Chain A
Amino acid sequence: MHPSDADLVRRVREGDADSFAVLVERYYRRSLRFALRMLGDRADAEEATQDAFVRAYRSLDRYEDRNRFQAWLFQILVNQCRSVLRRQRTRERLFVPYDFAAELVGSEEPEDRHWSAAVQRALLQLAPPLREALLLRCVEEQSYEEIAKATGAGVSAVKMRVKRARDRMRELLQESHSVG
């Protein structure tokens, strides 16, 4: 029987720092996935993810049990990613298309790799607020309320962002499909 997130948080608060390792193991991969999708860059994604866990650990006394740990962690992660995005914008980073499939587990077929690159390219063309909302809803399957809390937007704004993001992704991938 695996301990619940709430049990692990309680143990960490009681001084058992090793229990935090279980939480990191449990959420590192999906946190990295979110950051990598958001930022499109492996080094930036690793930095944002690792910083988010460190900040979560240091803010654990502010975590409330009635919230899901993952949703709370993602609030911090969203902010870390925003910080990196600002830096990316100001250093005029160019999103050079690269083999995004190399960042993913599996996917050896050329057709799959082409598709992986196209999806990530489309995602990076979305405005960051749309990208955030889409990933939190469609990939992390968070509730609209959780997303509102993580992003600082209202619930109705989040719903609108998810819808617009999906529509835009469809358009972009339609174009990409017909061109490519």
Chain B
Amino acid sequence: MSDERWKAIERELKREVRPDPEAVARILTRVHAPAPAGRLARAWRWLTRPRQVMVSPLAGMASAAATVLLVTLPLLMHSAAPLVEPQVAAGVAAAPASGDTLQSVQFVLVAPEAARVSLVGDFNDWDPAATPLRRTTEEGVWSVVVPLQSGRYLYAFVVDGSTWVPDASAPRGPENAFGAPNSVVLVGENT
């Protein structure tokens, strides 16, 4: 096939598409709508929300330890709101890694009852076997550091191979086909 042929393909690909005349207005309406609450506000609302929790003595000890960690993790990780779900807590933090664009992003989940936890996301083709988290404490803090380039990624945790857990500290992404929510991490050069 000649270069002329390729040029014809390229010309076709570059053709202007028919715009939706109302799209720009819709975008601007959404842009000017109030922004969703930030991580800290949401985490605070969760922390102060009244709830009834029933735990076994052993789980109670683990939960107490997890609570201490939730307070200290953000300090250790430089950023990341403490976030919690009734059974689990998670967080994500980024720090520069070697290389121009790669950053080490730490994903943390507190899941005392879990036997195994893995991370699935855009960066590993949603493969539950690709990125297991390591249990770093007796109390059930699971963590993994993933080198990521700048960009926006959807991700979630998979607990015990079957339970899909979003990161409650991160913005929610679109649900997957089975209705399970995902989380979003934005990795920028300054994060």
Interface residues of A (CB under 8 A from B): 17, 20-21, 24-25, 28-29, 32-33, 36-37, 46, 49-50, 53-55, 57-59, 62, 64, 75-76, 78-79, 82-83, 86-87, 90-91, 102-107, 115-116, 119, 123, 134-135, 138-139, 148-150, 152, 166, 169-170, 173-174
In the assembled complex, the Cα of A111 lies from the Cα of B53 at a distance in Å of: 68
Q: Helix, strand, loop or mixed for chain B's interface?
A: mixed
In the assembled complex, the Cα of A49 lies from the Cα of B15 at a distance in Å of: 17
- Among A21, A59, A174, max chain B CB count under 10 A is at A21
In the assembled complex, the Cα of A29 lies from the Cα of B173 at a distance in Å of: 24
Residues in chain A near residue B54, CB distance under 8 A: none
A33 near B17 (CB under 8 angstroms)?
Answer: yes
Residues in chain B near residue A123, CB distance under 8 A: 13
The 10 closest A-B pairs by CB, nearest first: A90-B177, A79-B152, A62-B188, A105-B16, A119-B12, A33-B17, A53-B27, A57-B31, A152-B149, A170-B1
Give the residue name and chain of the B residue nearest to A63 (CB).
B188
Q: Residue B148 at the A interface, CB < 8 A? A: yes
Partner of A64, one of B14, B19, B174, B189: B189
B2-10, B67-75, B128-136: which one contacts chain A?
B2-10
Q: Helix, strand, loop or mixed for chain A's interface?
A: helix
In the assembled complex, the Cα of A17 lies from the Cα of B186 at a distance in Å of: 22
Q: A32-B23, A152-B151 are in contact. Are A135 and B17 (CB under 8 A)?
A: no
In the assembled complex, the Cα of A170 lies from the Cα of B191 at a distance in Å of: 41
- Among B13, B174, B178, B190, max chain A CB count under 10 A is at B13
B150 near A105 (CB under 8 angstroms)?
Answer: no
A sample of 25 cross-chain residue pairs with beta-carbon separation below 8 angstroms, ordered by A number, consists of A20-B28, A21-B28, A24-B28, A32-B20, A49-B23, A50-B26, A50-B27, A50-B30, A59-B186, A62-B188, A78-B151, A79-B153, A79-B154, A83-B174, A87-B176, A90-B176, A91-B177, A105-B15, A116-B15, A135-B13, A139-B10, A148-B149, A149-B101, A170-B5, A173-B9
